[in-house]
Amino acid sequence: MNQKNGSPPSGAQDPKERERREKAVEMAFSQINRQFGKGSIMRLGEGPELGPIAAISTGSVSLDAALGIGGVPRGRIVEIFGPESSGKTTIALQIVAEAQRGGGMAAFIDAEHALDPLYARALGVQTDSLIVSQPDTGEQALEIAEILTSSGAVDVVVVDSVAALVPKAELEGEMGDQHMGLQARLMSQALRKLTGVVHRSNACFIFINQIRMKIGVMFGNPETTSGGNALKFYASVRLDVRRVASIKEGEENVGNRTRVRVVKNKLSPPFRTAEFDIMFGAGVSREGDVLDLAVDKGVVQKTGAWYTFGEERIGQGRENVKKFLKETPDNFAGIERQVRAAMGIGAPAAPVAAPARAAAAARPATPQ
């Protein structure tokens, strides 16, 4: 007992008081469900059973591992940003291809009007079934994206890019007119509406973004992304994509060595990095990615320039081994399986239907 006023010790509660509070909560639940619809509020233990976050593979085993959940999360917003020609759109298209490979549907909002169907097909995208929109204004792009997402039928939505989302007022103005903060306000309003829609639909919503330089920064990083600060807050995952080296065959550049840093991750520890090859015209080199991880995890032994898998020598030199793995899918599959097991990320899962897609589809998008 508390010596000062005779009340129960801290943490203890009178059973009658506890019962009174439970009745008050039940009355509040009843009123909220009547006013806003059944399921508007619940105890966490009464909802769907909590399990691992559903994810869509990025097409790179090392990036899937860096993300901590085996890919990009469903029901969340993801931002992919970086300098020009660093591989942002390639990674987004690889995610689209992985979603389609698992039987899912994907939409690509091409605000930059720069989507190359031949390149997308080379990455494994099923272009015949890919939903594509090339909107005129930023408002139109985000409205289309919201309607598609709220339909509950799309697994991945990509907006390429935030910098190309031109507000209608700016488009209708003259060259040289000042439009301070229009794009930032547009993104802030859109993200407030999109967050709930994306969660209900269980889709992965990807924004591709560009880098800009802050003026007058003397100390620290002068880089920032376009579209204001809202996306930085609403995104559950942010990927910083950088080109770190060129890959050459003789004097010819045939690809880039790319480093991706997970600068924000609400679902796993952030600041992990992944490095892999992006080959021109072919996308992420799965063979090179798996080979590097296999050597790192001891699945493949490297002695000098020679690589050995089990008792078999599979080639001399990294590029030769990559070609060998591409030509022998069974060997590649065996190595990839062991690498995934060693990293604890498992095989890429097929898309999981949203738990309430019918309900999501029944909720019409609010017009802007």
Q: In the 3-class helix/strand/coil scheme, how is 230-247 assigned residue by residue?
A: HHHHHCCEEEEEEEEEEE
Residues (pLDDT < 50) of the chain are: 1, 3, 350-368
Indicate the residue type of 196. Answer: G
CB 172 within 8 A of CB 203: no
Secondary element (H or E) of residue 331: helix 329-343
User: How many other C-beta atoms can be found within 10 angstroms of the C-beta atom of residue 59?
Assistant: 25
With H, G, I as helix, E, B as strand and everything else as coil, classify residue 259.
Answer: strand
The whole-angstrom separation of Cα 158 and Cα 125 is 13
CB 184 within 8 A of CB 229: yes
Token pair 């007119």 is at which residue? 177
Tell me: is residue 225 an annotated ligand-binding position. Answer: no
The whole-angstrom separation of Cα 132 and Cα 262 is 28
Task: Give the tokens for residue 121.
Answer: 């097909």
Tell me: is residue 161 an annotated ligand-binding position. Answer: no
Would you state the pLDDT for residue 130? 98
Would you state the pLDDT for residue 368? 37
Would you state the pLDDT for residue 52? 81
> How large is the angle between the packed helices 318-327 and 329-343, nearest 10 degrees?
110
Would you state the pLDDT for residue 193? 95
Task: Give the tokens for residue 9.
Answer: 């010790």
Q: How many residues does the chain have?
A: 368
Tell me: is residue 87 an annotated ligand-binding position. Answer: yes
The whole-angstrom separation of Cα 350 and Cα 100 is 9
The whole-angstrom separation of Cα 96 and Cα 92 is 6
With H, G, I as helix, E, B as strand and everything else as coil, classify residue 303.
Answer: strand
Secondary element (H or E) of residue 19: helix 15-36
Beta-bridge partner residues of 256: 246, 278
Tell me: is residue 89 an annotated ligand-binding position. Answer: yes
Contacts of 160 (CB under 8 A, 6+ apart): 89, 92, 108, 109, 110, 111, 112, 114, 115, 208
Token pair 């890019």 is at which residue? 161
Would you state the pLDDT for residue 50? 67
Contacts of 208 (CB under 8 A, 6+ apart): 79, 80, 81, 88, 89, 92, 158, 159, 160, 161, 162
Contacts 24+ apart (CB under 8 A), 24-28: none
Would you state the pLDDT for residue 175? 82
Would you state the pLDDT for residue 278? 97
Locate the DSSP E strands across the chain.
55-56, 72-73, 77-82, 106-110, 131-133, 156-160, 204-213, 223-225, 237-249, 252-265, 273-279, 283-284, 301-303, 306-309, 312-316
Beta-bridge partner residues of 108: 132, 158
Dump the DSSP string for 156-173: EEEEE-GGG---HHHHHS
Token pair 């991945």 is at which residue? 156
Would you state the pLDDT for residue 356? 42
Q: What is the DSSP letter of 49?
A: P
Would you state the pLDDT for residue 172? 84
Tell me: is residue 214 an annotated ligand-binding position. Answer: no
CB 331 within 8 A of CB 325: yes
Tell me: is residue 39 an annotated ligand-binding position. Answer: no
